């Protein structure tokens, strides 16, 4: 995630970190080349591109395309924002448990559960990014369940199992168990919701429709503009293409909020926040919080 104050005008024009321009530059180069070819052809065979052709059809199509791009980007941003709220809830629930576990359990019983909270956060990040979640959990909680379909969920199951054993041993009351279990259920709900976002992309037909229409629009637009704009046509077409393809590419990034693109969520920083909470509750030195590297918070 890009974290920076709004730059001045000069810096704003030439900023690349966090910009979508490098991703769409090859497409812009292609449509500019086509525009130059159309302008050259118009200069050589002017009868083929009459001034009366006008831009009215392109105005109508461009308006419809803009509305649809706006709808798609709103849907993608909603996924990104929901994912951010879920990870905020995860951090909040870890804080709640980091206060409650040491207060309700002996230190020998509370410490393993606190370490499992850290393992849960590491495992969920790995699962959402397609990494080895069992290895990520083992780095924090040795001996995690690698055989089940969901090693991250097995961490929560182990916490519940140990809390139930504490109830049977008389070290925890039923009411206290219910309070702690409600927090575990909240973490499980966050886990499930994150998997829903990661495993349910926007309908492919949306992406296909926008992509096809944007390409057709930008490739045909020079035909409507060259008669009146001449060699200024490639500049105008490049600006229009940057807007349309940029919005499309930005929507692709926001649609997958758990990835590693500059505009994706800073899962590494949020997992480090969980580690700091756990280490503080254990009375251990806290690792440093992650800070942006070149305005990029990972």
Domain assignment present for residue 8? The answer is no
> What pLDDT, on the 0 to 100 scale, is given for residue 10?
59
Q: Is residue 153 part of a domain?
A: yes
> Per the structure block, which two tokens stand in for 268?
């590494």
- On whether residue 146 sits in a domain, the answer given is yes
289 within a domain of the structure (yes/no): no
pLDDT at 193: 95
Q: Return the closest-CA partner of residue 125 out of 136, 112, 135.
A: 136
- Domain count of the chain? 1
The CA–CA distances, whole Å, from 14 to 21, 32, 277 equal 10, 20, 39
In a domain, 298, yes or no: no
CA distances to 4, 87, 138, 154, 163 from 160, rounded to whole Å, are 41, 21, 18, 10, 5
Range of the domain at 278: 22-282
Residue 244, pLDDT score? 83
Does residue 249 lie in a domain region?
yes
Write down the pLDDT at residue 51: 52
**CB neighbour list of residue 161: distance below 8 Å, 6 or more residues apart:** none
Per-residue tens of pLDDT for the chain, all 298 residues? 766 666 665 565 656 666 777 788 888 888 888 888 888 887 777 766 655 456 667 777 777 777 777 788 888 889 999 999 999 999 999 999 999 999 888 888 888 999 999 999 999 999 999 888 888 888 777 666 666 788 888 899 889 998 998 888 888 888 888 889 999 999 999 999 999 999 988 888 877 888 888 888 888 888 877 777 778 888 888 888 888 888 888 888 888 899 888 888 899 999 999 999 999 998 888 888 888 877 677 7
pLDDT computed for residue 12 by the predictor: 59
pLDDT at 38: 83
Angstrom distance (rounded) from CA 271 to CA 41: 57
C-alpha gyration radius of the chain: 27
For residue 14, being part of any structural domain is answered with no
* 13 lies in some domain: no
Helix intervals (H) in the chain: 9-14, 21-44, 56-104, 107-128, 133-138, 151-168, 174-199, 204-229, 233-255, 267-282
């Amino acid at each position: 995630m890009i974290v920076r104050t709004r730059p001045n005008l000069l810096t704003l024009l030439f900023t690349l970190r966090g910009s979508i321009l490098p991703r769409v530059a090859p497409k812009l180069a292609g449509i500019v080349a086509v525009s130059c070819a159309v302008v050259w052809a118009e200069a050589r065979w002017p009868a083929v591109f009459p001034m009366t052709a006008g831009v009215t059809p392109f105005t109508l199509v461009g308006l419809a395309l803009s509305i649809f791009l706006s709808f798609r980007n709103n849907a993608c941003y909603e996924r990104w924002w929901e994912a951010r709220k879920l990870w905020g809830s995860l951090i909040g629930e870890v804080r709640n448990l980091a206060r409650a576990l040491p207060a309700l359990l002996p230190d020998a019983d509370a410490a393993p559960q606190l370490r499992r909270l850290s393992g849960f956060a590491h495992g969920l990040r790995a699962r959402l990014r397609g990494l080895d979640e069992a290895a990520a959990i083992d780095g924090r909680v040795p001996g995690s369940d690698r055989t089940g379909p969901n090693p991250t969920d097995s961490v929560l199951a182990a916490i519940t199992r140990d809390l139930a054993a504490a109830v049977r041993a008389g070290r925890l009351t039923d009411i206290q168990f219910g309070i702690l279990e409600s927090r575990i259920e909240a973490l499980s709900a966050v886990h499930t919701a994150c998997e829903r976002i990661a495993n349910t992309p926007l309908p492919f037909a949306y992406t296909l429709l926008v992509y096809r229409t944007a390409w057709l629009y930008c490739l045909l637009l020079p035909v409507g503009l060259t008669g009146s704009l001449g060699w200024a046509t490639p500049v105008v077409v490049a600006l229009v293409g940057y807007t349309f393809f940029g919005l499309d590419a930005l929507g692709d990034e926001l649609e997958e909020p758990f990835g590693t693109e500059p505009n994706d969520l800073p899962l590494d920083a949020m997992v480090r926040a969980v580690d700091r909470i756990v280490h503080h509750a254990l009375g251990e030195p806290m690792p440093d919080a992650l800070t942006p590297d070149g305005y990029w918070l990972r």
